[in-house]
Chain A
């Protein structure tokens, strides 16, 4: 048996490969108790609003289950559909034997000081599991909320789509208006089993002084589909993540879409990496980055290891008002017959597009925002309409801030 604690301890000072180093000691990690809430509508209006913009609806309309963690404490966790399990991870670690097959099985506990922190000082997190053959009609919603200023919130999430299941998750991370400075460390491990379909849409709404270090790895088996959408359009001080997916079974598919908006003072280093390890696997990484004085690094890395895999990387950046976008697309083919390509483009809004819209009657500002919204509206095949609507809403809401 692995001694996770020991491995984690050894890595407690290990700097991450990417992103500015963060002084963990400058954040508090001690538990912040909150009452459990049966009915989410009893949350304060302010909290509700912050959650709504991250796609989490307090009335749980068109949702098949909800998980909410405030600071270090789970305040709500329930499933409304048979075949869908939602369990706080601490509870799962105590009560479910099977969880140990998954816990730290994809993400290395000693990868860096953040993974170490998440093991040594785990607050909570969720386990969401779709049992074999079960299909969610509506998405599960999960929210990781930071209310306490100066907190380091350390969570670990495990998502399992069992064989033949279909699971959609929307997860929102947000801070309350008075939490200005904080750190979010989030470990996520995704297991997409044979012929299962998992869509995972994450909407982040942080604050100007927040540092965010997600660490996630997914594994997709034969015939499985993993759709991963990431949206971060609000200010954040420092965000670094490089989620990785392993396509290990024949015909497995991964698609990553990310929409980033870099505000003044924001540093974002966001990428996606997919290993195509089995025949007929397919991967697509699409990112759209807009900066309005922030600095964004948009990475993408595709590694084709067997003959006949198909992969495409697309990275487009728009510089609106200063700042920088650094696109780093990488492709590695390790076998004959891999079909891999990438396209990257960084630039400003084309004047002829603005004028074209103005000649149809829009003002210059309206034309600009129409183009920006268009730029951010990528078609994501296979996404349920509720989630598409949430993404559109996030884009809409950020629109005013961007311009």
Chain B
């Protein structure tokens, strides 16, 4: 479970997150909406533990432990994983090597097999993120998360810039990762499968496309650094589409 209480965050001396309360329970996936610059990426980076995002108030609890001041790699070790909006290029570090790093030291990983699932086999020999197109970055990030297999997956706009064919690939893969696919299971009923769901997700989206592929438990709207409302994700999306963020915030308050 991820619990964020009364969080304030500063970046380069500016308060970019003013008041965040958020609770993602075991097995839940939330959708995070908000206009450009509202602080969505900042929130994910803060949860991941990027040191430039300074928590000035409040705390982050994960699996019952206060992780507010834990370094990034220890959070990764506890099962927090992130798909980035703009990941850096690392020259000389190949994509297949990166996938192996994600899997951790002990785990054997079928890099080719995983890459095949997201149509990324041809990129394994390239330096990570070097010249990747917008859509390719999304598949690369997803591939890394598949290998990493974290308990909570933070997706920063997993579908922006993705073409139609790859969209369904990415959508269904994310669904699987979050244990939200509805394949018929000979042993367990859908209800049982839902109960067994453990993975958590927090997905940033502008387009709402991802909602065509996965179900989500809640939608959150971030506006000017404040988490304003939490309700049905489709409802928030409709509201934003029809009356805009500002109105939507008002109706929530």
Contacts and interface: CB of A to CB of B under 8 A. Distances in A.
Nearest to A395: B92
Interface string A369-382: 01101111110000
Given A352-B88, A370-B93, A376-B92, A363 B101 contact: no
B76 A360 contact: yes
A362 interface: yes
Contacts of A350: 88
A352 B253 CA distance: 37
A363 B73 contact: yes
A402 B50 CA distance: 26
Contact of A358 (B72, B81, B88, B92): B72
Interface residues of B, number: 26
Interface of B: 48-51, 71-73, 75-77, 81-82, 84, 87-88, 90-93, 98, 101-102, 104, 127, 144, 148
Contacts of B101: 357, 360-362, 370
B76 A359 contact: yes
A356 B76 contact: no
Contacts of B127: 374
B77 A361 contact: yes
Given A361-B102, A362-B101, A374 B93 contact: yes
Interface of A: 350, 352-353, 355-364, 367, 370-371, 373-378
A362 B101 CA distance: 8
Contacts of A371: 90, 92-93
Contact of A359 (B48, B90, B93, B104): B48
Given A361-B102, A361-B104, A356 B88 contact: yes
Contact of A375 (B88, B92, B144, B148): B92
B91 A358 contact: no
The 6 closest A-B pairs by CB, nearest first: A374-B92, A374-B93, A358-B73, A358-B72, A377-B92, A361-B76
Given A364-B73, A370-B101, A359 B92 contact: no
Name the prevailing secondary structure of the A interface residues: helix
A96 B73 CA distance: 64
Contacts of B76: 358-361
15 contacts: A356-B90, A357-B90, A358-B76, A359-B49, A359-B75, A359-B82, A360-B144, A361-B76, A361-B101, A361-B104, A362-B101, A364-B71, A371-B92, A373-B92, A378-B92
Nearest to A379: B92
Nearest to B145: A360
A355 B50 CA distance: 7
A367 B73 CA distance: 10
Contact of B90 (A358, A364, A374, A378): A374
Among A350, A362, A375, residue most surrounded by chain B Cβ atoms (within 10 Å): A362
Contact of A353 (B51, B73, B88, B148): B88
Nearest to B49: A359
Contact of B73 (A359, A374, A377): A359
Given A353-B88, A360-B102, A361-B77, 14 more contacts: A355-B51, A357-B90, A358-B73, A358-B76, A359-B75, A359-B76, A360-B76, A361-B101, A361-B104, A370-B90, A371-B93, A374-B90, A374-B93, A376-B92
